[in-house]
Structure 1
Amino acid sequence: MRITSKGQVTIPAEIRERAGLLPQTEVEFEFDGKVVRIVRAKAGKRDGRGARLVAHLRGRGDVAMSTDAIMALTRGD
């Protein structure tokens, strides 16, 4: 495996699956002077995937309807 000019490598699928490294998983690098390790970042206060999606979508709606109006529309009232 080679490191690209941007410092990137591809982690083989089997290793990603065994380690539970899904897309958007935060990782950290550890170096002890001889060995580099990739480890899952500590949970801390980082938002989960759902929170990131909500934050991304917040304020993007362009329909000025009340919740009652939307519910009536979806129910066919």
Structure 2
Amino acid sequence: MRMNSKGQVTIPASLRAKHHLHEGDELEVIEDGDTLRIIRARGGETRGERLVREMRGRATSGRSTEELMELLRGE
């Protein structure tokens, strides 16, 4: 792994998948003696919480729930 001029590093895809890390996850780098550790930030939103927040209010099409269900069912 190599750090770029902005101090950024890329976590390999295999490690992101193994540890369920996704774009937008909040992480912290902490110093532990001579070692740096990357940990999830406490109190940060989970991926699901971010998705719900971003989607909230987007399905207000003026249609009833039954109309939306008919569209989804292809009726």
Q: Name the TM-score class by shorter chain.
A: 0.5 to 0.7
- Counterpart of 1:22 in 2: which secondary structure? coil
Change (3 A) 1:19 1:41: farther
In the TM superposition, 1:16-31 aligns within 5 A as 16=15, 20-24=19-23, 25-31=25-31
Unaligned runs of 5+ in 2: none
Unaligned runs of 5+ in 1: none
Higher gyration radius (CA): 1
Q: Structure 1 length normalisation: TM-score?
A: 0.62
With 67-76 and 22-31 compared, the bigger mean Cα shift is at 67-76
Aligned-partner residue type, residue 22 of structure 1: L
Q: Structure 2 length normalisation: TM-score?
A: 0.63
Aligned-partner residue type, residue 21 of structure 2: L
Change (3 A) 1:17 1:65: closer
Structure 2 distance, partners of 1:13, 1:71, is 37
Aligned residues: 73
| Aligned counterpart, 1:8 | 8
Identical aligned residues as a percent: 47
Structure 2 distance, partners of 1:21, 1:67, is 33
Name which structure has the greater RCO, CA cutoff 8 Å, separation 6+. Answer: 2
Change (3 A) 1:13 1:59: closer
